[in-house]
Amino acid sequence: MKPKIMPEIVLVNTQIPENLGATARSMLNFGLKKLRLVAPSFDLQNEKIIPLSAGADSVIQNLKKFDFFEDCVKDFNILVATTNRTRSIKKKQINFVDLNDIILKTPNKVGIVFGPEKSGLDNNHISICDFVLKIESNPLFSSLNLSHAVSIVAYEMMQSTKNTMKKKSKRIIEKFASKDELINFYSILEKNLDETKFFMVEERKKIIKQKIRNIFNKLELTSKDIKTLLGVIKSLRKNR
């Protein structure tokens, strides 16, 4: 059984054009067709892309390009960040079984996010994501090529669709609020915190914002939850 909404691959700040072509090839190998790019370091007309796609031109031609990460992910309900190292910002770590439960047995629109080749996703990206997926590899040499990482994730998803529906899901996952709703909530909350001088040390403002976002992301908020929280903020403003 296939999910009603296939997950989409999101590449953030990709640096090497060959990796875009190879990623498109890997995606189509395992049945994924929707690709989004955030601020790549090269022009999409680069002559090295299409040859590496090896016939997966349709993925390249239909990809969506964005300048900013938040604009790219607004219509997703769940974002899964891929990483091969431990981060200072804590997220719920899932494995491939969990990932396929999310994709196959929930109504959520899922994006799987991959960072740039040199450094991977930063904490600002991860703070907006809901889960972290770590690909187990040699701890002494864990860095994977971007297209190889996409291949592994896409392969595992394809394999699991053959067997996952035969098993009972560990839990029922509701439909999350969209990232657009969540980002709007963050914007309103942070504006109010600014006005009340909550961010007392300017140098730590960015880190504190990431921590606040991470707290709310852990709660797996629905649209109703967001409306309730916005009502709380509105009520507090009235009573100042």
Which phi and psi (to 5°) does residue 34 adopt?
-100, 125
* Domain annotation covers residue 128: yes
Amino acid at 58: S
Are residues 147 and 99 located together in one domain of the fold? yes
* Domain annotation covers residue 222: yes
* Domain annotation covers residue 211: yes
Lowest mean pLDDT, pick from 40-49, 56-65, 96-105, 189-198: 96-105
Are residues 29 and 74 located together in one domain of the fold? yes
Cβ atoms of 33 and 59 closer than 8 Å: yes
* Domain annotation covers residue 171: no
92 three-state secondary structure: strand
Are residues 19 and 131 located together in one domain of the fold? yes
Nearest to 69 by CA among 14, 136, 131, 142: 14
Give, as one character, the DSSP assignment of residue 204: G
**Mean pLDDT over the full length of the chain:** 88
Helices (H), the chain: 17-29, 49-53, 57-61, 69-72, 96-104, 123-128, 146-161, 179-195, 205-217, 223-238
Is the overall model pTM greater than 0.85, yes or no?
A: yes
Structural domain for 187, as ranges: 179-238
CATH number, domain with residue 13: 3.40.1280.10
Nearest to 120 by CA among 94, 141, 146, 93: 146
Cβ atoms of 183 and 77 closer than 8 Å: no
- Final residue in a domain of this structure, among 109, 139, 166: 166
Amino acid at 237: R
Are residues 232 and 183 located together in one domain of the fold? yes
Measured in Å, how far apart are the chain's first and last C-alpha atoms?
53
Are residues 33 and 136 located together in one domain of the fold? yes
- Final residue in a domain of this structure, among 166, 200, 224: 166
* Domain annotation covers residue 174: no
Q: pLDDT tens across 169-220, in order?
A: 455 567 899 999 999 999 999 999 999 889 888 888 989 999 999 899 888 8
Nearest-angstrom CA–CA distance, 235 and 237: 5
